[in-house]
Amino acid sequence: MNPSKTALEIVHHLPPHYLERTLREDVRAGLGKPAKTLPPKWFYDQRGSELFEQITQLPEYFPTRAERRILEDHAREMAGTSPAETLIELGSGSSRKTPLLLDALMDAGDLRSYVAVDVSDSALTGANSELSRNYSDLTLQAVAADFESQLQLLPKDGRRMVAFLGGTIGNLEPDARAQFLIQVRELLGQAGGSLLLGTGLVQPPEILIPAYDDPSGVTADFNRNVLRVLNAELGADFDVEAFEHVAVWNEAEEWIEMRLRATRAMYVQLPGAGLEIHFDQSEDLRTEVSAKFRPERIEAELAAAQLTIAGQWTDPDKRYAMTLAEPF
Ligand SMILES: C[S@@+](CC[C@H](N)C(=O)[O-])C[C@H]1O[C@@H](n2cnc3c(N)ncnc32)[C@H](O)[C@@H]1O
């Protein structure tokens, strides 16, 4: 084994203080308005990334198992349809399902490198030391970057497959999703290439809600973690336990909303953002949307970014879809 591949350096594309600056901007924009919101990327410090991994093991949280099952059954077909030289995974987290794709792409013949992209340093470090033990023939890169604003900084070598797994696209609201897909299309360039997209499918709320509100409370702990991040990064004084975890199905938008509900009226100081905010008793802070899709919406949103479907697969329960899309 090549020892230089066991401890991979993370390439930082986030400018100095980028995270602190964007956290401050997001907090001012999201908490300084009547209907309070925060973007979900702030869940993922080390503890948040670990809690997300625990969520993926919960019996109620079916998306990870469904996506793994689709990859087990169809990764070879995906790789045969789009035999990439570089696999770029956005929001790669633990990269735990990635070996299914790496093995299939290596068997298809052309794969030379894997690039993991995430805002979470701790997730990148863990994933890459794991992968480098088993894939010493590949060039592995870990890139700390924001997939919403920094795709133009990613490597553009060879024919690329961009994987966006875990249903993470559902965390973007429709306008942000449209912008994101246009940037992915640009990243694929003219040299062919493909997007492999994992999406949760619209299901009855009796199936969806427990996946975001498990009885063991792991998802609640994950949700509250964003308040711990604000306390640590902005010197805020959130009483984390004074917020209740709530998951609701928004029928009109076809998305799950995770919220934190204040159990009492309170003021919160956020000196790092120059803010003092007030919560009424029972006031909600929306921390995540997780949009679920119908096949026709997947097709339409891809088409709007000049991407056409080259293959689509679902799990046996039809709760989750993986779509391979190519530029047209
Ligand atoms: C729902 S998890 C999915 C993780 C993994 N892909 C999976 O399928 O299990 C979302 C991942 O995206 C990362 N993430 C969220 N927002 C991001 C952003 N704007 N830029 C880069 N990574 C982001 C998080 O740190 C986290 O690892």
Instruction: Tell me the percentage of the chain whose pLDDT exceeds 90.
Output: 87
Range of 18-27, 125-134, 249-258 with top mean pLDDT: 249-258
Q: Which residues line ligand 1 (CB under 6 A)?
A: 41, 44, 49, 52, 56, 64, 91-93, 118-120, 123, 146-148, 165-166, 168
Tokens found for residue 74: 């169809």
The pLDDT assigned to 312 comes to: 98
pLDDT value, residue 8? 63
pLDDT tier for residue 1 given thresholds of 50, 70 and 90: very low
Q: Is 74 or 191 the better-scoring residue by pLDDT?
A: 74
Q: Of 232, 234, 214, 236, which Cα lies nearest the Cα of 223?
A: 214
Contact 45, 20 (CB under 8 A): no
Please report which confidence band the pLDDT of residue 157 belongs to, taking 50, 70 and 90 as the band edges: confident
Question: Which pLDDT value is given to residue 246?
Answer: 98
Domain boundaries 3-8+58-203+292-327, corresponding CATH code: 3.40.50.150
Ligand 1: which of 149, 168, 180 to mutate, most ligand atoms within 8 Å of CB? 168
Contact predicate 87/161, CB 8 Å: yes
Cα(223)–Cα(37) distance, rounded to whole angstroms? 13
Q: How many CB atoms lie within 10 A of CB 320?
A: 25
**Mean per-residue pLDDT, 98-124:** 95
Compute CA distances 109 → 83, 85, 125, 294, 326, whole Å.
Answer: 7, 9, 27, 33, 19
Please state, in angstroms and as integers, the Cα–Cα distance from residue 19 to each residue in 16, 79, 155, 158, 230, following that order. Answer: 8, 35, 22, 30, 12
Residue 19 pLDDT: 87
What are the residue ranges spanned by the domains of the chain?
A: 3-8+58-203+292-327
Residue 304 has pLDDT above 50, yes or no: yes
**pLDDT of res. 3:** 37
CA of 154 to the centre of ligand 1 (A): 16
In this structure, which amino acid lies at residue 181? L
CB atoms within 10 A of CB 177: 17
Quote the ligand 1 centre to 218 CA distance (angstroms): 18
Ligand 1 center to residue 59 CA distance, Å? 21
Q: Which of 13-22, 23-32, 134-143, 159-168 has the lowest mean pLDDT?
A: 13-22
Q: Taking CA 52 as the corner, what is the angle to CA 84 and CA 211, rounded to the nearest 5 degrees? A: 100
- Most confident option among 109-113, 157-161, 274-278: 274-278
Angle between helices 218-234 and 18-31 (to 10 degrees): 110
Q: How many CB atoms lie within 10 A of CB 162?
A: 25
